[in-house]
Amino acid sequence: MAGTLYGIGVGPGDPELMTLKAKRLIDECPVLAVPVKAEGEKSTAFEIVRPVVDLSKKKVLEVIFSMSKNSSDYWKCGQVAGDQIIEELENGNDVAIVTLGDVSIYSTYMYLEQYVRNKGYNTVIIPGIPSFCSGAALAGIPLTLGNEGLAIVPSAKDNPLVGEAIDRFDNIVIMKAGNSVEKIANMMKRRNVPAECATIIHNVGMEDQYIGPIDTDRKYGYFTTIIIKKGKKDW
**CB-side neighbour CA atoms (13 Å) of 220:** 25
Among 92, 149, 213, 221, binds a second copy (CB under 8 A): 149
Binding flag, residue 45, a second copy (CB under 8 A): no
Q: Please, which residue, 40 or 132, has the CB nearer to a second copy? A: 132
CB of 218 to a second copy, least distance (A): 24
String marking each residue 105-134 x if it binds a second copy according to CB under 8 A: xxxx-x--xx--x-----x-xxxxxx--xx
Binding flag, residue 159, a second copy (CB under 8 A): yes
CB of 116 to a second copy, least distance (A): 11
Please give the C-alpha separations between residue 104 and each of 163, 180, 183, in angstroms, as whole numbers: 24, 24, 28
Among 3, 5, 17, 89, binds a second copy (CB under 8 A): 17
AA letter at 122: N
CB of 8 to a second copy, least distance (A): 10
| Per-residue 3-state assignment (H helix, E strand, C coil) for 145-181 | CCCCCEEEECCCCCCHHHHHHHHHCCEEEECCCHHHH
Tell how strand 198-202 and strand 224-229 pair up.
antiparallel
String marking each residue 171-210 x if it binds a second copy according to CB under 8 A: ----------------------------------------
Q: Phi/psi at 62 (nearest 5 deg)?
A: -80, 130
Binding flag, residue 79, a second copy (CB under 8 A): no
Give the residue from 180, 182, 173, 186 showing the smallest Cα distance to 157: 180
Give the residue from 92, 102, 99, 110 showing the smallest Cα distance to 30: 92
State in Å, rounded, how far the first CA of the chain is from the last one.
54
Among 161, 203, 205, 211, binds a second copy (CB under 8 A): 161
Q: Which residues bind a second copy (CB under 8 A)?
A: 9, 11, 14-21, 23-24, 52, 69, 71, 74, 102-108, 110, 113-114, 117, 123, 125-130, 133-134, 136-138, 140-155, 159, 161, 164-165, 168-169, 235
